[in-house]
Amino acid sequence: MPRISLNDISTRAPKGFDKQETKLKTAGLLEELDELQNLLYAESKHSILVIIQGMDASGKDGAIRNVFGRLNPQGVMVKSFKVPTQEELAHDFLWRIHANTPGRGMIQLFNRSHYEDVLVTRVHKWCNDSLAKKRMKAINDFEKLLQEHNNTHILKFYLHVSREEQHVRLHERISMREKQWKYNEKDFEESELWDIYREMYEDCFEHCDSPSWIIVPSDQNWYKEYLMADNLHKLMKSLDMKYPGLKK
């Protein structure tokens, strides 16, 4: 797909979205999602993989809590991908990812994902352009496998915050006692690499676009949560699911 320039996309809600009205809409969507998730689980025909990526402090944890926290935990699993372990490093980069893909009937959330292997790794020059190209091709093949061979529907969310908002939030991690546990001394160093991260993300959007990424303006959490719930809702409605009858 044509290259997206993140600098041209607003990090705030479009005009016409009122905070209170939008929050009510989100609440309505979450109620319906609860029912749809039950149907997904009962039918066990489709699975959903939600990939959540974004710069530090873009609100990934909050999105997981507020958009998916109301669903039946029996049908929703979350996997956070951290720095790989020795065992994971002894395998190809998609090995630990594949092990965590959803079985039919399930919603699986990835807090960070295989995309880190063409993001943080490229920013820090652990992965050069030629290897990144090969990895993106492997990612496309892998996502196709999930989609074509297991009815896995993939939502890729990029949580789009401004650098200013990121700084506000990183400073809160120092100043607000209940956020201090999130602070990492490297947060500000990483933030200096903003423009390179942005470029690497734009590369992913361009080359790994089946399905396309959903750019979620995320400076305001209420809009971010609405847009994610709305996309999940649209996807689940489109599946035309039915409760299975009695087993014969």
Number of H helices and E strands in the chain, helices first, is: 10, 5
Q: Which residues, at least 6 apart from 154, have a Cβ–Cβ distance to it below 8 Å?
A: 48, 49, 50, 51, 143, 146, 147, 211
Pattern of binders to a copy of itself over 173-202, x per CB under 8 A? ------------------------------
Burial class (CB within 10 angstroms; exposed 0-12, middle 13-18, buried 19+) of 49: buried
d(CA 237, CA 240): 6
Total residues contacting a copy of itself (rule CB under 8 A)?
A: 28
Residue closer to a copy of itself by CB (options 148, 185) is 148
User: Exactly one of 133, 144, 163, 237 binds a copy of itself (CB under 8 A); which one?
Assistant: 144
- The reply to whether 105 sits near a copy of itself by the rule CB under 8 A is yes
Q: DSSP letters of 29-51?
A: HHHHHHHHHHHHHHH-S-EEEEE
- The reply to whether 149 sits near a copy of itself by the rule CB under 8 A is yes
Q: Which residues, at least 6 apart from 144, have a Cβ–Cβ distance to it below 8 Å?
A: 210
Residue closer to a copy of itself by CB (options 93, 197) is 93
Kindly indicate which of the ranges 94-102, 170-178, 189-197, 221-229 contains the residues binding a copy of itself, using the contact rule CB under 8 A. 94-102
Query: Smallest gap, in angstroms, from Cβ of residue 134 to a copy of itself?
Result: 6
> Helix, strand or coil for residue 201?
helix
- The reply to whether 152 sits near a copy of itself by the rule CB under 8 A is yes
- The reply to whether 65 sits near a copy of itself by the rule CB under 8 A is no
- The reply to whether 211 sits near a copy of itself by the rule CB under 8 A is no
Q: Kindly list the residues in this chain that would bind a copy of itself in the complex (CB under 8 A).
A: 44, 87, 90-95, 98-99, 101-106, 134-135, 138, 141-142, 144-146, 148-150, 152
